[in-house]
Structure formats: structure tokens, C-alpha cells
């Protein structure tokens, strides 16, 4: 390492002597440098030393130190254009475009024929959006060095940025005279002619390119797209067919033809061409995935697109059975169609091939939740945790599964660990706090349960789910019923057709002995629930009993038993035909 650095420093020293040649005494006999008389040879030596060290620091990557040393050079010699140039480059590198422009402009004023200065001047002008001035600089450079191909390229692109499209075409024509027809020049000229609304000239430019390179099918594709964009459909179709004859195995021509047929509203042929592209193994799987994804996004509102999306997904799986992404995208399609179990199968297949995609794991866990399959949720969230220990949502799923399995202490530990991982996601935090509140209620730790719900409400005071759960737990304990009633009413205002919220509000009214109002709210809830909830049915039975309708109370208790698991006292209520609380 030291040996290499010494070589660099030796080379640097030699370079600095050459660069500062203009600073050595002139042959006139007076000891001075250009633009400023030096007091002594020592001052000249000091300047050389500073410049050398500035460049050394620049090479070592110490840009701030280098900038300071170059600034000292300029302070010592206000006409030191080499330091101005170097400092301008450093300022440009750090995004200080205005400061860089002032320095490089001054350097050019001292040495106007220095091509390095002029090139830097033009580039810094462009960074300052002064394209017309940059055009003038490149034009001047070409006067000094008329055979420099790179100057023609730079001038042409700068003229484009300046909006001087016709001038840019002339520049590219001159460049073409020097180097001949090239794809870079021809495609630039085509774009410029289109900007000038000279479509025929753009077509001629591409035809010229095709004549020069007749075996290159991509240029035919560009010409066909230009025809198509300008409603020259017959010419576009003829050109696409030429490409098919030249390159019949090219899958991308089928994509172009699919687009062509769609343009002329021939949907059937368009889809046939798209399928041909999908069946071609030479087309990258990522391109096919992008197309399928666009179908998935649109298919919900279009039955025809839904059918096509399924067909494309099946072709994708057949052509790429060892890739994980096709299975994942097929899972997305099924999930949007509410085929949750089938979607889960596809996500699992994707993960058998490649377990690295967190997003696929998240969708898999969401399907477990949607299916209320807590056995699968527990197993799969455990595996996901081992792969993604920093993903809070995985902790959330694992905590829910453990809570459902009555592993309450482990669930609480997981919830708290996941909560600490959340950054800038209040919605997920609310879900955590709500689940922690539910868990503490289950563990009969009422104070901790209330605190968790309060934390959730700090983040979103109008979260209907939090308001409903919190108020229901208060009603079950017959505590703070006035607060519970206010929260429950708000949850119903926020989500007016929610049977659970209506049941909660009715139950709070029941606890407050407002039996008739409670009955009305429970009947609303039953209408929205379709008499599926055992808890809701049992609650209405209790209210009817309190209203003196023991016969119908018994009917609803029996319905509750048929619907599922009711309270601990449900069987006793039915057998003794009496209310127990």
C-alpha cells in the first residue's frame, strides 16, 4: 500500500510541475508568474507546495481539505487559474453549482483556449441550467478542434436541452459526415424530427438506419411503432410482418403485434398474440410478470380481463414451473377473487421454491388469518420469524396464533417484542395495542387491558374497532358504563352497519337497564348479522326475558346454542327457562 502511494505522489509531483509551468519565471528576466508578480522564489515554492498537497488530498478523497488548500492557492495568487479549475470541479462534485460556475468562468477568462477548462465550463453551465451558454462554449470548442467527435455529441445533446431542435439536427448531420450512419445519431434525429412534428422526416431517418443495418430487426420495430403512433396502421402491420419473417422466434414482436391489434380494437387477435409471447421461453419471466400484474389490477372490474388473467397465469406456470414468482402472482389473482384457500396453496408453492420473499410470506399469513386457521398461522409465522426477525407483522400473526392457543404469556411476550420493531406505522401499532388489550382482558388483567386500549386511542381516537372492543369489555365488567356508552355510540356512527358494534351498544344499554332501547339495537344487529352470532342471539334472549317475554327468550337461547358456543350459563338458561348472569 505504501509503495503504491509513493508512486502516486511521485506522479502527482511531476504533474503539478507541468501544470504550474505557467507559474515559473519567464525568460524576460523578471521573476513573476502570469497575472501577478511574485515577491520571491519562496512564494512560488509555497504556491507549488500548496497545490501539490491540495491535489494529494483530492486523490485521497479528502475533498473538504483539498478545497481549503485550493482556496489558499487562489488567495496567495488571485490569478491561479489551475486552482480555480480544480476547486470548481470539487464544488460541482458537491452540488455547489453556482460557486463552481463563478470559479470556472474566471479560469476560462485567464486561459480561454484551454480545452479542459472549456469542457468543465460547459458541463457546469448545464448543471446551472444555462443551456444556451453551454451551446456557445461547445461551438467555440469545435472552432479550436473541429475534428473532435465527442464535442459534436455534446453540442447536439445540449442543443436538445436548449430546445434548439433544428440546430441539433444540423450538428448531428455534421457528425454523421465524419463517422457515418450510426444508431445513436439516427435515433436522436428521429426524436428531434418528432418534436418538430416532421413525422415523414423521422420515418426517413429510421429507413436510412434500416438500409444501413438491414439485418437488425429492432430498427424495423422502431419504424413500426412510429407508423402505429401516427395512425399509419397498414404500414405498421406490413413492417411487423417483415420482422416476423426475419426473426420468427422473437417473443417481443408478438407483444408489439398485441399492442397493434389492441389499437385497431381487434381484442381477440391481440390476446392471441399476447399468449404467443407468454408461451415463448425466450421472453424474460419478469416481463410476463409485469403484464400479468397489470391484468390482476384491472380484472376486478372486467369479466373478460378476469378470464384472460387466469389463462395467462396458467400459461406462465406451465412455461416456468421452477420459478416462484408465477405462483405468487397466481395467488394474488385468486386472492382478489376471494378464493382464499386456493390462493394460500399458490403462496405455499411459491415459498417451496424460494423462501426469500417477505411479501409472499405476509400474504400467506394473511390467508391463514382470513381462514381462521390458527394451527397453520402458528406454524408458518414461526418459520417466517426465523427468516424475518425484524418484521413486526410476523410477530403480530405469531402473537394472535399463540393467544388463540391459550399460550397467553408467550403471546404477550411476542406482542411486546413486535411492538418495539414498528417504525412509522400507526395502523399496525393500533392493531398490536388492540390485541394486547384483548389478551389482557382474556387474562383478567383489567387495568393493563384498559391501558392498552387507551394507547391505541391516543393514536386514533376514532378507530371503530378499538372503541367497540374497549366499550364491550367495560360493559362485561359493568364498569364505567357511561364512558362505554359514549365510545360504543361513536363506533356505531363511524361504522353504522356493523353488527358487532350494534350488539355492543345494545348490551351496554341492557347493563344500564334500558331494556327497550337495548332490544331495538339487538334487532338491528341481528338483521345485519343474519342470526349467525351465538353471542348476539343469546344477548337478545336475555333482553327479552328482562322485558317479560320468557317464551321468545327461550327461542333465542336455543338459536344461540345451535349457532355456536354461547356463554357458560347458556345451557342452564335453556334447561331451567330462566335468566342467569
| pLDDT value of position 7 | 43
Report residue 20's pLDDT band, with 50, 70 and 90 as the boundaries: very low
* Residues with Cβ within 8 Å of residue 425, at least 6 apart in sequence: 392
532 phi, psi to nearest 5 deg = -100, -25
| pLDDT value of position 40 | 58
| pLDDT value of position 580 | 86
224-262 tens-digit pLDDT: 999 999 999 899 999 998 988 888 888 888 988 998 898
| pLDDT value of position 299 | 72
452-469 tens-digit pLDDT: 999 999 999 999 999 999
- Cα–Cα distance, 48 to 24 (Å, whole number): 10
Q: Is residue 362 part of a domain?
A: no
| pLDDT value of position 37 | 46
Report residue 304's pLDDT band, with 50, 70 and 90 as the boundaries: confident
357-367 tens-digit pLDDT: 999 999 999 99
118-130 tens-digit pLDDT: 999 999 999 999 9
Is 387's pLDDT higher than 50?
yes
| pLDDT value of position 35 | 38
215 phi, psi to nearest 5 deg = -95, 0
H or E, element range at 305 = helix 303-319
- Cα–Cα distance, 116 to 128 (Å, whole number): 18
Is 21's pLDDT higher than 90?
no
- Cα–Cα distance, 54 to 46 (Å, whole number): 12
Q: Report yes or no: 86 and 94 within 8 Å, Cβ to Cβ.
A: no
Q: Is residue 170 part of a domain?
A: no
- Cα–Cα distance, 79 to 144 (Å, whole number): 24
56-108 tens-digit pLDDT: 989 999 999 999 999 999 998 999 999 999 999 999 999 999 999 999 999 99
- Cα–Cα distance, 125 to 136 (Å, whole number): 11
Tell me what percent of the residues of the chain surpass a pLDDT of 70.
93
Q: Is residue 10 part of a domain?
A: yes
Report residue 29's pLDDT band, with 50, 70 and 90 as the boundaries: very low
Provide the CATH number for the domain around residue 97: 1.25.40.10
DSSP characters over 163-199: T-HHHHHHHHHHHHHHH---HHHHHHHHHHHHHTT-H
315-345 tens-digit pLDDT: 999 999 999 999 999 999 999 999 999 999 9
Burial of 536 (0-12, 13-18, 19+ CB in 10 A): buried
User: Which of 144, 172, 141, 138 has its CA nearest to residue 158?
Assistant: 138
Owning domain of residue 106: 1-128
- Cα–Cα distance, 392 to 378 (Å, whole number): 15
Count of structural domains, the chain? 1
**What's the per-residue H, E or C state across 514-576?**
CHHHHHHHHHHHHHHHCCCCHHHHHHHHHHHHHCCCHHHHHHHHHHHHHHCCCCCCHHHHHHH
Q: Report yes or no: 485 and 512 within 8 Å, Cβ to Cβ.
A: yes
Q: Report yes or no: 106 and 77 within 8 Å, Cβ to Cβ.
A: no
Report residue 16's pLDDT band, with 50, 70 and 90 as the boundaries: very low
Q: Is residue 8 part of a domain?
A: yes
| pLDDT value of position 397 | 98
136-176 tens-digit pLDDT: 999 999 999 999 999 999 999 999 999 999 999 999 999 99
Per the prediction, the chain carries an average pLDDT of 90
Q: Is residue 299 part of a domain?
A: no
Q: Report yes or no: 388 and 358 within 8 Å, Cβ to Cβ.
A: yes
Q: Is residue 28 part of a domain?
A: yes
User: Which of 48, 19, 51, 22 has its CA nearest to residue 36?
Assistant: 22
| pLDDT value of position 207 | 95
- Cα–Cα distance, 57 to 414 (Å, whole number): 52
H or E, element range at 36 = strand 36-37
Is 28's pLDDT higher than 60?
no
Q: Is residue 184 part of a domain?
A: no
Cα Rg for the chain, rounded, in angstroms? 38
Q: Is residue 60 part of a domain?
A: yes
Q: Beta partners for 33?
A: 36
521-560 tens-digit pLDDT: 999 999 998 788 999 999 999 999 999 999 999 999 999 9
> With left for phi above 0 and alpha for psi between -120 and 50, is residue 140 left, alpha or beta?
alpha
Amino acid at each position: 500500500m505504501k509503495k503504491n502511494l509513493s508512486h502516486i505522489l511521485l506522479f502527482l509531483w511531476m504533474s503539478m510541475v507541468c501544470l504550474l509551468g505557467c507559474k515559473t519565471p519567464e525568460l524576460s528576466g523578471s521573476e513573476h508568474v502570469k497575472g501577478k508578480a511574485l515577491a520571491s522564489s519562496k512564494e512560488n515554492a509555497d504556491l507549488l507546495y500548496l497545490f501539490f498537497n491540495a491535489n494529494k488530498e483530492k486523490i485521497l478523497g479528502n475533498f473538504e481539505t483539498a478545497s481549503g488548500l485550493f482556496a489558499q492557492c487562489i488567495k496567495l495568487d488571485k490569478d491561479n487559474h489551475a486552482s480555480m479549475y480544480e476547486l470548481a470541479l470539487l464544488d460541482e462534485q458537491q452540488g455547489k453549482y453556482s460557486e463552481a460556475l463563478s470559479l470556472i468562468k474566471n479560469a476560462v477568462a485567464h486561459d480561454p483556449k484551454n480545452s479542459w477548462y472549456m469542457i468543465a465550463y460547459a458541463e457546469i453551465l448545464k448543471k446551472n441550467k444555462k443551456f444556451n451558454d453551454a451551446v456557445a462554449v461547445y461551438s467555440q470548442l469545435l472552432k479550436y478542434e473541429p475534428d473532435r467527435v465527442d464535442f459534436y455529441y455534446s453540442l447536439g445533446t445540449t442543443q436538445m436541452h436548449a430546445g434548439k431542435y433544428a440546430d441539433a439536427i444540423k450538428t448531428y448531420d455534421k457528425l454523421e459526415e465524419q463517422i457515418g450512419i450510426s444508431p445513436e445519431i439516427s435515433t436522436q434525429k428521429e426524436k428531434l424530427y418528432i418534436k418538430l412534428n416532421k413525422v415523414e422526416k423521422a420515418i426517413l431517418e429510421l429507413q436510412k438506419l434500416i438500409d444501413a443495418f438491414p439485418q437488425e430487426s429492432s430498427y424495423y420495430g422502431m419504424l413500426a411503432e412510429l407508423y402505429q403512433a401516427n395512425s399509419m396502421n397498414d404500414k405498421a402491420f406490413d413492417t411487423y410482418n417483415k420482422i416476423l419473417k426475419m426473426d420468427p422466434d422473437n417473443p417481443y414482436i408478438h407483444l408489439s403485434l398485441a399492442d397493434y391489434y389492441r389499437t385497431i380494437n381487434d381484442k381477440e387477435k391481440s390476446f392471441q398474440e399476447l399468449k404467443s409471447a407468454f408461451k415463448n421461453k425466450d421472453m424474460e419471466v419478469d416481463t410476463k410478470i409485469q403484464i400479468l400484474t397489470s391484468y390482476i389490477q384491472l380484472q376486478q372490474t372486467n369479466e373478460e380481463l378476469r378470464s384472460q388473467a387466469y389463462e395467462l397465469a396458467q400459461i406462465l406456470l406451465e412455461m416456468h414451473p421452477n420459478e416462484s414468482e408465477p405462483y405468487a402472482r397466481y395467488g394474488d389473482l385468486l386472492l382478489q377473487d376471494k378464493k382464499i384457500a386456493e390462493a394460500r396453496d399458490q403462496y405455499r408453492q411459491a415459498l417451496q421454491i424460494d423462501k426469500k420473499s417477505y411479501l409472499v410470506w405476509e400474504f400467506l399469513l394473511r390467508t391463514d388469518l382470513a381462514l381462521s386457521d390458527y394451527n397453520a398461522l402458528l406454524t408458518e409465522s414461526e418459520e417466517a420469524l426465523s427468516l424475518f426477525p425484524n418484521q413486526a407483522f410476523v410477530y403480530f400473526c405469531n402473537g394472535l396464533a399463540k393467544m388463540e392457543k391459550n399460550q397467553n404469556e408467550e403471546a404477550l411476550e411476542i406482542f411486546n417484542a413486535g411492538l418495539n420493531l414498528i417504525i412509522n406505522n400507526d395502523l399496525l401499532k393500533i392493531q398490536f395495542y388492540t390485541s394486547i388489550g384483548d389478551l389482557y382482558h382474556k387474562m383478567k388483567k383489567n387495568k393493563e387491558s384498559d391501558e392498552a386500549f387507551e394507547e391505541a386511542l391516543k393514536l386514533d381516537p376514532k378507530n371503530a374497532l378499538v372503541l367497540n372492543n374497549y366499550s364491550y369489555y367495560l360493559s362485561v365488567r359493568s364498569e364505567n358504563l357511561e364512558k362505554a356508552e359514549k365510545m360504543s355510540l361513536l363506533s356505531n356512527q363511524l361504522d353504522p352497519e356493523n353488527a358487532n358494534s350494534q350488539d355492543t351498544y345494545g348490551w351496554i344499554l341492557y347493563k344500564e337497564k334500558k331494556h327497550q332501547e337495548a332490544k331495538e339495537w339487538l334487532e338491528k344487529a341481528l338483521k345485519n348479522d343474519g342470526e349467525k352470532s351465538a353471542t348476539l342471539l343469546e344477548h337478545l334472549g336475555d333482553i327479552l326475558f328482562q322485558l317479560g317475554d320468557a317464551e321468545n327468550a327461550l327461542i333465542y337461547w336455543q338459536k344461540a346454542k345451535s349457532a355456536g358456543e354461547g356463554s357458560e350459563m347458556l345451557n342452564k338458561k335453556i334447561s331451567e327457562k330462566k335468566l342467569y348472569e
